[in-house]
Structure 1
Amino acid sequence: MATPSRSGVFTQATDRRVERFTESISFDRRLYAHDIQGSTAHAQMLAEVGVLTPHERDQICATLQQIGKEIEHDVFPFSIALEDIHMHIEQALIERLGDVGRKLHTGRSRNDQVATDLRLWVRDALDRIKDGLENLQRAFFDRCEGDFEVILPGYTHMQRAQPVLAPHYWLAYCEKLARDIDRVKDCRKRTNVCSLGAAALAGTTLPIDRHDVMQRLKFDSVAGNSLDVSSDRDFVVESAFVLSLIAAHLSTWAEEWILWSTAEFNFLKLPHEFCTGSSIMPQKINPDVLELTRGKSARVIGHLQTLLVLIKGLPLAYNRDLQEDKPPLFDSFETVELCLELAAPLVAGAKLNREGIAAKLDRGYLDATTLMEYLIQKGIAQRTAHHLVGSLVNQAMQQGVSLAELPLETLQAAHPDLDESVREILGVDKAVAAFRSYGSTAPSEVRRQIEIWRSRLYQTDPAVLKSDEGAITLEK
């Protein structure tokens, strides 16, 4: 049986080994709904310009919908002899409609057809990723009120650095995820361009209307250069980059929470439904979901490299190498989607070990920077104040006490400007209360940020908060 892609120029049948080597139906069948969507729009356009009669258009569109339902219900036969999902659907159309089915491919090539299907699929997948990111943002945000009074040690170089409010930490991830969402939206703009009608590489002599197809498929614009269309996989690579950065952010979060859930940190209790046990050690509660989230990020990042290497040496226009773009792309989307699906309920279900955190909060001299800035406000140069506080920390370490527990005479021996008023900023609670700058962990500033995020995530009306400087209007 001759397939639509095999013309009369060939004098021999395709070697079965070649069929196995070149097939993509094993992975591109997931494009079936988008192929039918694109083909339906193409048929409707062909009828508008007079290439198809209204009756032929209706026959083709109805049969395409029937084929789609058969694929959806897993009763449609697939064969590697037909290479890909595009050939499967077209061959089925021809078998059922004869010459009417053969007319569908008028004015297009598999090159622009594949590009269109893939753009439609990526567009939908990006929308799902955006939804997953927003769900995870809400999971972090929804912890803010309940954890508002909890103070956490903030780290640099994995060493205790300064104290931060727990909601300040939760909102840090909201910010990261917001940038991820912005990148998803930007990527969607460059993805949402109509390739159909560029044909193989040079366009077509037939009177097609590409803008009609653009509108039917809800694309934002039409690709402007037919030669570029066949080779353009920028949107694929950009999607892989966006997913890689999302995966990296998820991996960072997973690593922190893996550490936090250890007996050594004892900051966090993970929900048991997201943990597994050991085959030999009955006491173990292993953070497998977090570990796999961290591990799966490697796959996503590796797929980005695969795609960059795939396109780096390709001349214009289409080359069969581009068939290999789909497995890494599909896997990247599926992996990140699954990670996001599990991340949101895991974040919502975890519990901070408040007693464990508080018991160790005075370790690490988290108020040292606050003491240094207290001296700066007394008129002491920053580098001088930095050295003075360092020497006081050293003395406190030698005595096994906190900075707040150092006697006043010890503080004044370091500098005479250190009087009893220093007690107002020493200690973790007081150090947190001393922060002032925009975007800091100051309680009033964190409260302001919570209200901003409430407005962004739940579309509430902007509020007005009072501060020492007057009214602060919260922007959406």
Structure 2
Amino acid sequence: MKLWGGRFEKTTDALVEDFHSSIRFDQRLYKQDILGSIAHAKMLGSVGVITEDEATQLIEGLQGILAEIQAGSVEFEIGAEDIHMNVEKLLTEKIGPTGKKLHTGRSRNDQVALDLRLYLREEIDQTKTYVGNLVQTLLNIAQEHLETWMPGYTHLQKAQPITLAHHLMAYSQMFLRDLGRLNDTRKRLNVSPLGSGAMAGTTFPLDREKVAGDLGFDGVTLNSLDGVSDRDFALEFLAGASILMMHLSRLCEELVLWSSGEFQFISMDDGYSTGSSIMPQKKNPDVAELVRGKTGRVYGDLVALLTVMKGLPLAYNKDMQEDKEQVFDAVDTLQKCLIVVEPMLRTMQVHKDAMAWGAKGGFTNATDLADYLAKKGVPFREAHELVGRIVLHCTKKGIGLEELALSDYQALSPVFDQDLFAAIGIEHCVRARKLIGGPSPETVAQGIQISHETLKQLLAE
């Protein structure tokens, strides 16, 4: 008989029982469910709702079940529907009628809300570790390539010369912001809903604050309806995970481009590449491509849960059973991607000469030529127009700005002098940009140091 079956005259149809059951996926919450139940049982004993002896029996029984599940000796039952009722059934079988007192003052509605918060809190902490490792690797690579010149792009067209360090530091800033979002999500989810009951609390004199404290929460939810029907914390995690995956995808897209024959900026390590079943010469950046593809999967998890929640009246509805698979999938996908991207980056080979050669093409120093004129007193808009004509002239001749003769420059403007060639040298173009956030090696080195400190602070929160 179902634990809720007293009101029913017929058993659940077999099709409905299978359709209704969530134990296939929510068994993943067994540890959180048991830890929450232990804290609840302890509190029930301390406030006198059950005796201290009964509380001890419940706690010891739950601890035994936890050990048995971790040892792989427990087989969950679809007929018991979910992890909550499976654990309660196992507990009653283990310690007898006292096990039936565990659910006093509690509903599966506030129980599952508690479990999911505990689960996400733990996974956020683990995800932070993985993001931290990735940022550390980016900072390490950047430190090694402060003077590895390369072209910067806009519209995927060569724009201005920068360094590989400057380019990778852009991603370090993205991932540091991702860490901040994870911290913010963790702070907001870290309140306990236990005690909200099904939707209107309970008449038992529960000590909600004690349970919250025992489980490491900062406080308790202040409205029982919200306590059982809120999934903002899950949506916020999925939104943050989607943004993080977007950053990973952008980085991986650049690695795919850079490792192509057209760029040849990097070579991926053999351990993070695959071949073709028909083309013997191929070395494909499949890991980076898969991360790019899996980004859409995490987006789908976010959209799926948003769609589930968008039309639900207060309070709990069975639709919300669909929250867990989306969260579990996003956690798994995100963490697997973070785990594989870090060593893929760490082991890639950088081709400095190819990057430097690329920085010299495409008139990446054109802006510096215009700046040269502006510093000589030519209004920038006039300088811009003049340099545009010079670029057109050089394009037709198939030469770069640094290859045009001084006499040709002076024929266009008497302002030009021999010093223009130093001003448009690729290294000078980069080194001269010393403003905060700029690509000069000196500035980037300062940014790396600041980012190390920021990373340490974010990981400590």
TM bracket, shorter-chain basis: over 0.9
State the alpha-carbon separation in 1 of the partners of residues 163 and 30 from structure 2: 49
In structure 2, what residue type is equivalent to 1:117?
A: D
In the other structure, the counterpart of 2:409 is: 411
In the other structure, the counterpart of 1:432 is: 430
Residue of structure 1 aligned with 2:356, choices 355, 358, 370? 358
In the other structure, the counterpart of 2:309 is: 311
The 10-residue stretch of structure 1 (416-425 or 193-202) with the greater mean CA deviation from structure 2 = 416-425
Residue of structure 1 aligned with 2:397, choices 387, 396, 399? 399
Other structure's SS at 1:370 match: helix
1:338 aligns with 2:336: yes
Of all paired residues, the percent bearing the same amino acid is 45
Quote the offset at 1:227 in angstroms. Answer: 1.1
In structure 1, what residue type is equivalent to 2:309?
A: I
State the alpha-carbon separation in 2 of the partners of residues 413 and 429 from structure 1: 27
In structure 2, what residue type is equivalent to 1:261?
A: S
Residue of structure 1 aligned with 2:261, choices 241, 252, 263? 263
Quote the offset at 1:166 in angstroms. Answer: 1.3
For 1:86-97, list aligned pairs within 5 A.
Answer: 86-97=84-95
State the alpha-carbon separation in 1 of the partners of residues 57 and 371 from structure 2: 78
C-alpha distance after superposition, 1:24-55 (max 9, x if no partner):
11111000000011001101111110112222
State the alpha-carbon separation in 2 of the partners of residues 132 and 80 from structure 1: 35
In structure 2, what residue type is equivalent to 1:210?
A: R
In the other structure, the counterpart of 2:107 is: 109
1:236 aligns with 2:229: no
C-alpha distance after superposition, 1:427-453 (max 9, x if no partner):
211211221321100222112112222
5+ residue gaps, structure 2:
none
Quote the offset at 1:456 in angstroms. Answer: 3.7
In structure 2, what residue type is equivalent to 1:108?
A: R
- Contact 2:201–2:224 under 8 Å retained in 1: yes
Residue of structure 1 aligned with 2:161, choices 153, 163, 170? 163
State the alpha-carbon separation in 1 of the partners of residues 116 and 149 from structure 2: 47
Residue of structure 1 aligned with 2:220, choices 203, 219, 222? 222
For 1:443-462, list aligned pairs within 5 A.
Answer: 443-457=441-455
Other structure's SS at 2:144 match: coil
1:134 aligns with 2:115: no
State the alpha-carbon separation in 2 of the partners of residues 12 and 135 from structure 1: 56
In structure 2, what residue type is equivalent to 1:263?
A: G
So what's the TM-score if we normalise by structure 2?
Answer: 0.97
In structure 2, what residue type is equivalent to 1:34?
A: Q
State the alpha-carbon separation in 2 of the partners of residues 277 and 381 from structure 1: 55
Higher relative contact order (CA 8 A, sep 6+): 2
Quote the offset at 1:415 in angstroms. Answer: 2.2
Other structure's SS at 1:364 match: coil
State the alpha-carbon separation in 2 of the partners of residues 397 and 140 from structure 1: 37
In the other structure, the counterpart of 2:295 is: 297
State the alpha-carbon separation in 2 of the partners of residues 224 and 416 from structure 1: 75
5+ residue gaps, structure 1:
460-476
In the other structure, the counterpart of 2:98 is: 100
In structure 2, what residue type is equivalent to 1:233?
A: R
In the other structure, the counterpart of 1:370 is: 368
State the alpha-carbon separation in 1 of the partners of residues 168 and 434 from structure 2: 19
- Contact 1:370–1:434 under 8 Å retained in 2: no
Other structure's SS at 2:6 match: coil
Quote the offset at 1:458 in angstroms. Answer: 6.1
Aligned residues: 457
C-alpha distance after superposition, 1:392-441 (max 9, x if no partner):
11111111111111111221223221211212211211211221321100
Other structure's SS at 1:313 match: coil
Quote the offset at 1:457 in angstroms. Answer: 4.3
- Contact 1:425–1:434 under 8 Å retained in 2: no
Residue of structure 1 aligned with 2:148, choices 132, 140, 150? 150
- Contact 1:3–1:91 under 8 Å retained in 2: no
Quote the offset at 1:324 in angstroms. Answer: 0.5
State the alpha-carbon separation in 2 of the partners of residues 90 and 183 from structure 1: 36
C-alpha distance after superposition, 1:236-259 (max 9, x if no partner):
111110000011111101111001
More helix by share: 2
RMSD: 1.2
State the alpha-carbon separation in 1 of the partners of residues 359 and 142 from structure 2: 20
Quote the offset at 1:351 in angstroms. Answer: 1.1
Residue of structure 2 aligned with 1:63, choices 61, 64, 88? 61
In the other structure, the counterpart of 1:50 is: 48
So what's the TM-score if we normalise by structure 1?
Answer: 0.94
State the alpha-carbon separation in 2 of the partners of residues 309 and 334 from structure 1: 21
- Contact 1:112–1:229 under 8 Å retained in 2: yes
State the alpha-carbon separation in 2 of the partners of residues 324 and 20 from structure 1: 15
Quote the offset at 1:379 in angstroms. Answer: 2.3
The 10-residue stretch of structure 1 (313-322 or 392-401) with the greater mean CA deviation from structure 2 = 392-401
State the alpha-carbon separation in 2 of the partners of residues 358 and 365 from structure 1: 13
- Contact 2:151–2:358 under 8 Å retained in 1: no
- Contact 1:152–1:357 under 8 Å retained in 2: yes
Quote the offset at 1:354 in angstroms. Answer: 1.5
Quote the offset at 1:145 in angstroms. Answer: 2.6
The 10-residue stretch of structure 1 (265-274 or 356-365) with the greater mean CA deviation from structure 2 = 356-365
State the alpha-carbon separation in 2 of the partners of residues 311 and 21 from structure 1: 20
